[in-house]
């Protein structure tokens, strides 16, 4: 024997090999069985009341708010934020926080460049802040999280965890001014209070705000009854039929955040569209325009339209968060993260009267796999889909970027040692400048995520340059204000910071992440 040690027996070698192989195979099998496939960030609350049958409740359409005054200078609206009891589940009165007594809040219709003023009066038990998501809004009306409107008799501090010298606090009411010098798009307004955005949206503080313009009008897209705003939001209900939410402090006045199992995000087991559970809507055999908003706190959906003959109807995307695309993009299904919007055309023309089309969620399991249903009840007119859409999309070139920034969105610890969500290792602090951009500069941001993080920039729209180091996906077309990063994914976005100077934000729009630190200041100078 040349080997000094005794030769390892063949049987032993095989045994060692088999052990390594078994460990690897066992690990893979465990992962395959245990891990969520597809990945999902958040934990689901289970409702404790019997849930209605799917597709039995008619789809409500939020009322359009009438202006209290319209002059040459613009339109003025007034809204009251107040509590109501509403019937969401048949037979139960559920306490909601609402804009003007309805959930979703009343829809506001604006024209591009026509100044819109909205007076919000706070009759809720806690301070509020209104942010118009996607709005190109001066900083004073952008709803910075500490710019609180305090309710009558409020004598506490702001209720939030940080001091902020620059906060503009008002009593009872505030007038928000929106120049709306921006492309036609479906925006949405919602509460944005420091530390308590997620439970406030969950309780009902969200509504749709349309901006219209001549570019859109010229296309002759389906309108009126054929244009459907659809706010999709998941919720869960307790044994009394009240909204369940795992707040650390259910009064939403003290300690912020949610209990430990829900730190990654709160998911409900009931899918609401415009506030109704799994609703049904009657349509004709014509072309419809679906204006879809994911108003959920944390749930992602991948939407597809399945006819009862098993076919998937094409979803023709004509617009994104910030308005129309240059040309339609056909999808079999579209993924939608919290706060994202899609402008889709769907043609029921090939279906017979009596057909049913299920808007399904490929990421859901059990009842969350359903969203709503369309029932074809009469013949309608055929309308062609335009081949080209908008020609006013901004084009920015990478080489024109003044700054390239890397930003990491990850789990971590807050200053108090609690679990939180961090941007570049830091939890939100109103007093700390994070990104300072010069007005007019083009910048490229390279975003990296650990789990799902839908990243939203205030003030500006952006284009997606790449995703995961490769080309953007088909649904990344157009002008975005929220980009959904999947686990381990990265994206490069490009934008030009124009409009207004002042203090803005960028943040994760998983509302629980946002409340637990994943927000940062964007100062435009």
Residue whose structure tokens are 């955040």: 257
In the complex, what is the shortest distance from the CB of residue 362 to other proteins, in angstroms, rounded to a whole number?
A: 15
The partner in contact with residue 508, picked from other proteins, Cu ion, none with C-beta cut-offs of 5 to 8 angstroms by kind, is: Cu ion
Of residues 471, 439, 329, 322, the one with CA closest to residue 387: 329
Q: Are 477 and 463 in contact (CB under 8 A)?
A: no
The partner in contact with residue 58, picked from Cu ion, other proteins, none with C-beta cut-offs of 5 to 8 angstroms by kind, is: none
Residues binding Cu ion: number (CB under 5 A): 4
With binding defined as CB under 5 A, does residue 294 bind Cu ion? no
Choose which of 510, 515, 519, 520 interacts with Cu ion (CB under 5 A). 510
The partner in contact with residue 203, picked from other proteins, Cu ion, none with C-beta cut-offs of 5 to 8 angstroms by kind, is: none
Report the residue number, 421 or 500, with the smaller CB distance to other proteins.
421
In the complex, what is the shortest distance from the CB of residue 454 to other proteins, in angstroms, rounded to a whole number?
A: 15
Which residues, in sequence order, are CB contacts of 19 under 8 Å at separation 6+?
A: none
Report the residue number, 19 or 379, with the smaller CB distance to other proteins.
19
In the complex, what is the shortest distance from the CB of residue 458 to Cu ion, in angstroms, rounded to a whole number?
A: 16
**Could you give the CA distance from residue 447 to residue 453 in angstroms, rounded to a whole number?**
10
Which residues, in sequence order, are CB contacts of 413 under 8 Å at separation 6+?
A: 419, 420
The partner in contact with residue 248, picked from other proteins, Cu ion, none with C-beta cut-offs of 5 to 8 angstroms by kind, is: none
Radius of gyration over every alpha carbon of the chain, rounded to an integer in angstroms: 24
Report the residue number, 232 or 442, with the smaller CB distance to other proteins.
442
- Could you list the residues that contact other proteins (CB under 8 A)? 2-3, 7-8, 10, 13, 16-17, 20, 23-24, 27-28, 30-32, 34-37, 39, 406-408, 410, 424, 446, 448, 450, 468-469, 486-490, 492
Of residues 162, 235, 143, 183, the one with CA closest to residue 456: 143
Residues in 423-482 that interact with Cu ion by CB under 5 A? 453
Report the residue number, 11 or 417, with the smaller CB distance to other proteins.
11
In the complex, what is the shortest distance from the CB of residue 74 to other proteins, in angstroms, rounded to a whole number?
A: 43
Q: What is the dihedral of CA 78, 84, 89, 90, to 10 degrees?
A: -100
Q: 108 — alpha (psi -120 to 50), left (phi > 0) or beta?
A: beta
The partner in contact with residue 39, picked from Cu ion, other proteins, none with C-beta cut-offs of 5 to 8 angstroms by kind, is: other proteins
Which residues, in sequence order, are CB contacts of 101 under 8 Å at separation 6+?
A: 80, 82, 84
**Could you give the CA distance from residue 105 to residue 208 in angstroms, rounded to a whole number?**
7
Report the residue number, 307 or 485, with the smaller CB distance to other proteins.
485
The partner in contact with residue 486, picked from Cu ion, other proteins, none with C-beta cut-offs of 5 to 8 angstroms by kind, is: other proteins
With binding defined as CB under 5 A, does residue 513 bind Cu ion? yes
Q: What are phi and psi of 11, to 5 degrees?
A: -65, -40
Residues in 490-509 that interact with Cu ion by CB under 5 A? 508
DSSP class of residue 8?
Answer: P
**Interacting residues toward Cu ion by CB under 5 A:** 453, 508, 510, 513
């Amino acid at each position: 024997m040349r080997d000094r040690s005794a030769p390892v027996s063949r049987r032993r070698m095989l045994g060692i090999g088999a052990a390594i192989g078994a460990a690897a195979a066992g690990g893979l099998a465990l992962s395959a069985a245990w891990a969520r496939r597809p990945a999902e960030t958040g934990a689901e609350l289970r409702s404790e009341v019997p849930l209605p049958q799917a597709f039995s409740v008619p789809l409500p359409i939020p009322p359009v708010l009438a202006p209290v005054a319209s002059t040459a200078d613009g339109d003025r609206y007034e809204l009251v934020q107040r509590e109501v009891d509403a019937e969401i589940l048949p037979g139960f009165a559920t306490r909601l926080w609402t804009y003007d007594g309805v959930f979703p809040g009343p829809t506001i219709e604006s024209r591009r460049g026509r100044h819109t003023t909205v007076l919000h009066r706070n009759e809720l038990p806690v301070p509020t802040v209104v942010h118009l998501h996607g709005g190109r809004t001066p900083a004073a009306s952008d709803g910075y999280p500490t710019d609180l409107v305090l309710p009558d008799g409020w004598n506490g501090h702001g209720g939030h965890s940080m001091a902020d010298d620059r906060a503009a606090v008002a009593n009872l009411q505030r007038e928000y001014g929106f120049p709306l010098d921006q492309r036609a798009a479906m925006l949405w307004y919602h509460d944005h209070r420091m530390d308590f955005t997620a439970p406030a949206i969950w309780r009902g503080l969200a509504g749709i705000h349309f901006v219209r313009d001549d570019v859109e009008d010229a296309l002759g897209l389906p309108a009126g009854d054929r244009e459907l705003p659809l706010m999709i939001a998941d919720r869960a209900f307790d044994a009394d039929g009240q909204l369940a939410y795992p707040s650390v402090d259910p009064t939403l006045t003290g300690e912020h955040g949610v209990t430990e199992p829900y730190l990654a995000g709160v998911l409900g087991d009931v899918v609401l569209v415009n506030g109704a559970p799994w609703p049904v809507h009657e349509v004709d055999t014509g072309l419809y325009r679906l204006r879809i908003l994911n108003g959920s706190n944390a749930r992602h959906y991948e939407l597809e339209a399945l006819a009862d003959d098993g076919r998937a109807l094409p979803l023709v995307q004509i617009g994104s968060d910030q308005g129309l695309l240059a040309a339609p993009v056909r999808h079999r299904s579209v993924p939608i993260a919290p706060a994202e919007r899609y402008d889709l055309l769907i043609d029921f023309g090939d279906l017979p009267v009596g057909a049913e089309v299920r808007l399904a969620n490929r990421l859901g399991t059990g009842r969350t796999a359903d969203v709503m249903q369309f029932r074809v009840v009469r013949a309608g007119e055929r309308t062609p889909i335009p081949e080209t859409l908008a020609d006013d999309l901004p084009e920015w070139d990478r080489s024109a970027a003044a700054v390239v920034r890397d930003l990491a969105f990850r789990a971590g610890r807050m200053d108090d040692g609690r679990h939180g969500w961090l941007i570049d290792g830091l939890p939100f602090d109103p007093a700390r400048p994070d990104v300072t951009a010069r007005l007019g500069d083009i910048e490229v941001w390279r975003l990296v995520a650990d789990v799902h993080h839908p990243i939203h920039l205030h003030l500006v729209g952006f284009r997606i340059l790449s995703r995961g180091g490769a080309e953007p996906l088909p649904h990344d077309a157009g002008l975005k204000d929220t980009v959904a990063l999947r686990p381990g994914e990265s994206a490069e976005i490009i934008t030009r910071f124009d409009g207004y100077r002042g203090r803005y934000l960028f943040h994760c729009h998983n509302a629980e992440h946002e409340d637990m630190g994943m927000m940062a200041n964007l100062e435009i100078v």
